Structure 1
Amino acid sequence: MSRPEAGPPQPQRPWPLLVVVAGVVLGLALSVLGQTTWRAGSVVVGASLLVGAVERLVLSDRAAGLLQVRAKAFDVALLGLAGVAVVVLALAVPPGR
């Protein structure tokens, strides 16, 4: 039995990862702007990681593109845990004077 010829490898789709990276960069920019915006920036970073977890969960392996690192369950768990941790820590820190 002959195997079908495999064509050239398909290029990875960068947009799911770019969405997450753009959110993290936006959150970091907010955090750097001043003492009053660090909490909002941290929440944006955490939310971006949670968006990445949802993207990885709902997109197929091929559509997830560069967001795919390991198995789907591992990627979703790691992004989700990191996102929740960042948001919880940002909200748990008491405000300064």
Structure 2
Amino acid sequence: MTSTPGADTRVDRIRRARRMRRYLVQIPYFVVLLGLLAAAVLVLFDRWRRGAFVFGSALILGAVLRALIPTSRVGLLQVRGRFFDIAAMASVGGLILWLATSIDPLGTD
């Protein structure tokens, strides 16, 4: 049994589109991950307050993205239910932001 050439190219286009969608749906996750990586670099270079601020901000950004993006397109930002994910990231991010801004620097940044 042979298939028509038009059907083969259509199937290839659908496969390519699905593969591309798998990568594109992860962009919000990688944006948050990039923020966490930047925070780790700041902490590594002894800028712990700035690093903590960036870390908390990245978590708040993750909570906002999780709240705004539909579940079918949220990718790896989805761990549990929408409410739990948003509440967990927002509360931990807010706590870290509060700690980063409230602790006396003691001559450090």
Question: After TM superposition, is the score higher than 0.5?
Answer: yes
As a proportion of its length, which structure holds more helix?
2
Match of 2:63 among 53, 60, 68: 53
Gaps of 5+ in 2: 1-17
TM score, norm. by length of structure 1: 0.82
What is the CA-CA distance between 1:14 and the residue it aligns to?
1.4
Rounded to whole Å, the distance in 1 between the matches of 2:33 and 2:75 is 14
Rounded to whole Å, the distance in 2 between the matches of 1:95 and 1:71 is 37
Sequence identity (%) = 32
Match of 2:44 among 11, 32, 45: 32
Q: How many residues align?
A: 87
TM score, norm. by length of structure 2: 0.73
C-alpha deviations, 1:31-54, integer Å up to 9, x for none? Answer: 1112xx211111000000000000
Gaps of 5+ in 1: 1-7
Cα RMSD over matched residues? 1.7
